[in-house]
Copies of this chain bind each other. A is one copy, B any other.
Amino acid sequence: MTFAEKIAAVRAELAKQDLDGFLVPRSDEHLGEYVPPSAERLAWLTGFTGSAGLAVVLTDQAAVWSDGRYVLQLAHETDERIWTRLHVTENPPPAWVAEKAGQGARIGYDPWLISEEGVARFTDAGLTMIAVAANPVDLAWKDRPAPPMAKIRPHALAVAGVSSLEKREQIGRKLTEEKQEVAVLTDPASIAWLLNIRGQDLEFAPFALGFALLHADGGVEFFAEPEKISDDTRESLGNSVAIAPRAALPDAIAGLKGRRVRLDHAGAPAWFAQRLREAGATIVPGTDPCALPKACKNPVEQQGARDAQKRDAVALCRFLHWLTDAAGHETELSAAAQLLKFRGQIEGFAGESFAAIAGAGEHGAIIHYHATAQTNRAINPNEVFLIDSGGQYPDGTTDVTRTIWTGPDAPPHELRDQFTRVLKGHIAIATLVFPEKTAGVQIDALARQYLWHAGLDYDHGTGHGVGSFLSVHEGPVSISTHLRPATLAEGMILSNEPGYYRIGHYGIRLENLLLVQKAETESKKQFFQFETLTLAPFDRRLIDLALLSTQERAWLDLYHERVLQQVGPALPGEARSWLERACAPLGIA
């Protein structure tokens, strides 16, 4: 089908359902970041393959939105004769739809693919929002792939650290304290953490798509196709976890009549609130009760993260050594493949934690660049090469970015100035001591201050939470300009990745993962500090030593010494010699 035929088919269905329009968000039924091919409705309908977006089909026009990261990609991938291409904050969809379709227009949505809060923004704009029983896109999409059916495996206690039963009882007690009887879990990462299981329904996130109801007594109803569940998983789950097919969910919700049910209106599909109300349950608004305990890694997970990072660093350091000889005869794709090859040799490697971003020269300035056969570019001498990548291991998830000067000439002064400002911001976060109850937004500017002073900035967050053999992007805390109330707490793993992007020329990003640890002070208040987990040298040729303070230089030397100590012994001879030079005290060689 052509894109014109697809939208015509959707419009024919709208006419049948008496609708003036229909929303097609880029989400699946879990409203998360990664979706399986069977849920790529937005890409099927519009051609746009970015990770965030929304299309609206009206009877006589249609628009598709994304954010600043995807402006170019949106224009490139969609047909302007069919789609008006818009920026989500500059032209918010509710106002656009209300203007084009008119006040009171009947706009359909699939209640599985948008939250109640999301629907409310359209209702507030004066639209009549209709939850459809049959999604017009699904009716038109004849060759839609089947949903993933990968096996679900147990996540061993040796890496999980705490048994599922203990987690469930602990959260169950919290529900009781807050006078809730049941919590609806729609985030597969929360279910994976709670049940100590892992799946492979998605390419980069090792969890299984499914839903769960957690009862205050610790019992769980887990809705996932029974044939996905291996025998050892079934055994590990025990008697207090009832497994039922996804199709049993409506009846289970209907059975909650009279119960007090915790539901996240921002995170859960609107379907749940609508069905709970129909069932006569009392909805108690509340965030996902697993989100915070999942983010605060227990001591076993913390040690697992250290171990996984240390092994992962062997692959990355071998790659960085390999890269010293790459300029002139390797490409972005061949470099990414080489890194994947090195990671494949690491014990426990279970796949990439996201599609590696390997950007040479001007491609490094595209924050979410992914090299394809069409865009692939040689790695040339005397330019900047940015590599952002990560791996999944049973004991931890990694995410690391390094920015390299390919040489052989010395890099220009301006580049070194910018790189060093990014590095100073990175060190400001890495060395920070901060009190309990500090939100990420409070510390974000520490990473930006040296760039700001030169009129520079970067248009992304400074850091995101990272899961434990789960999603590389994990809530509830981030280090960013967003006014999120969640605060940093012991055991959280966060990225520290300031950057600078000179559009059309190069990108700089320096990313390590950090672990929040208690700091010893004389104060009655609890203070925290970060332990840097990631181990890889920063490119010394790009550092302007004159811009570093004594303390910053000391931190770098100490960090490099640690990298050499921990990673060096595991490297083959030539790579080890290279690492010794890369980690020598600054100002030497």
Pick from A69-77, A188-196, A443-451 the stretch touching chain B. Answer: A443-451
Q: Which residue of B lies closest to A442 (CB)?
A: B445
A453 interface hit (Cβ, 8 Å): yes
Q: Which residue of B lies closest to A485 (CB)?
A: B483
Contacts of A485 in B (CB 8 A): 483
A549 interface hit (Cβ, 8 Å): yes
Contacts of A483 in B (CB 8 A): 439, 441, 483-485
Quote the shortest CB–CB distance from A454 to chain B (angstroms).
Answer: 7
Contacts of A438 in B (CB 8 A): 445, 481
Pick from A32-40, A293-301, A516-524 the stretch touching chain B. Answer: A516-524
- Proximity bits, A252-270, B CB within 8 Å = 1, else 0: 0000000000000000000
Contacts of A519 in B (CB 8 A): 455
B432 touches A449 (CB 8 A): yes
Q: Which residue of B lies closest to A480 (CB)?
A: B442
Quote the shortest CB–CB distance from A527 to chain B (angstroms).
Answer: 5
Quote the shortest CB–CB distance from A387 to chain B (angstroms).
Answer: 27
Determine how many copies of this chain the complex contains: 2
A435 touches B449 (CB 8 A): no
Quote the shortest CB–CB distance from A452 to chain B (angstroms).
Answer: 5
A525 interface hit (Cβ, 8 Å): yes
Q: Among the listed B442, B457, B525, which residue makes an inter-chain contact with A435, where contact means beta carbons less than 8 Å apart?
A: B457
A452 touches B549 (CB 8 A): no
Quote the shortest CB–CB distance from A124 to chain B (angstroms).
Answer: 11
A62 interface hit (Cβ, 8 Å): no
A54 interface hit (Cβ, 8 Å): no
Q: Which residues of chain A (369-386) have a CB below 8 Å from chain B?
A: none
Quote the shortest CB–CB distance from A265 to chain B (angstroms).
Answer: 15
Quote the shortest CB–CB distance from A347 to chain B (angstroms).
Answer: 38
A433 interface hit (Cβ, 8 Å): yes
B446 touches A433 (CB 8 A): no
Q: Which residues of chain A (414-470) have a CB below 8 Å from chain B?
A: 428, 432-435, 438-439, 441-446, 449, 452-457
Interface centre among A432, A441, A445 (most CB of B within 10 A): A445
B445 touches A433 (CB 8 A): no
Q: Among the listed B434, B442, B449, B521, which residue makes an inter-chain contact with A454, where contact means beta carbons less than 8 Å apart?
A: B521
- Proximity bits, A54-82, B CB within 8 Å = 1, else 0: 00000000000000000000000000000
Contacts of A439 in B (CB 8 A): 441, 481, 483
Alpha-carbon separation in the docked complex, A428 to B446 (Å): 11
A523 touches B456 (CB 8 A): yes
Alpha-carbon separation in the docked complex, A501 to B433 (Å): 19
Q: Which residue of B lies closest to A526 (CB)?
A: B455
Query: When A485-B483, A522-B455, A527-B455 are in contact, do A434 and B445 touch as well, CB less than 8 Å?
Result: yes
Alpha-carbon separation in the docked complex, A428 to B549 (Å): 15
Alpha-carbon separation in the docked complex, A201 to B435 (Å): 42
Contacts of A433 in B (CB 8 A): 452-453, 455
Quote the shortest CB–CB distance from A517 to chain B (angstroms).
Answer: 14
Quote the shortest CB–CB distance from A453 to chain B (angstroms).
Answer: 5
Contacts of A456 in B (CB 8 A): 523
A444 touches B446 (CB 8 A): no
Q: Which residues of chain A (517-576) have a CB below 8 Å from chain B?
A: 519, 521-523, 525, 527, 549
Quote the shortest CB–CB distance from A462 to chain B (angstroms).
Answer: 11
Contacts of A527 in B (CB 8 A): 452, 455
Binding site for B on A (CB under 8 A): 428, 432-435, 438-439, 441-446, 449, 452-457, 481, 483-485, 519, 521-523, 525, 527, 549
A-B contact pairs, 19 of them (CB 8 A): A428-B449, A432-B449, A433-B452, A433-B453, A434-B445, A434-B452, A435-B452, A435-B457, A439-B441, A439-B481, A445-B446, A446-B446, A446-B449, A455-B521, A455-B525, A455-B527, A456-B523, A457-B525, A483-B484
Contacts beyond the supplied A442-B444, A483-B483, A483-B484: 13 A-B pairs with Cβ under 8 Å: A428-B449, A433-B453, A433-B455, A434-B452, A438-B445, A439-B441, A439-B481, A441-B441, A441-B442, A442-B442, A442-B445, A457-B523, A457-B525
Closest 10 CB pairs of A and B: A455-B521, A455-B523, A483-B483, A442-B445, A433-B453, A433-B452, A434-B452, A455-B527, A443-B445, A435-B457
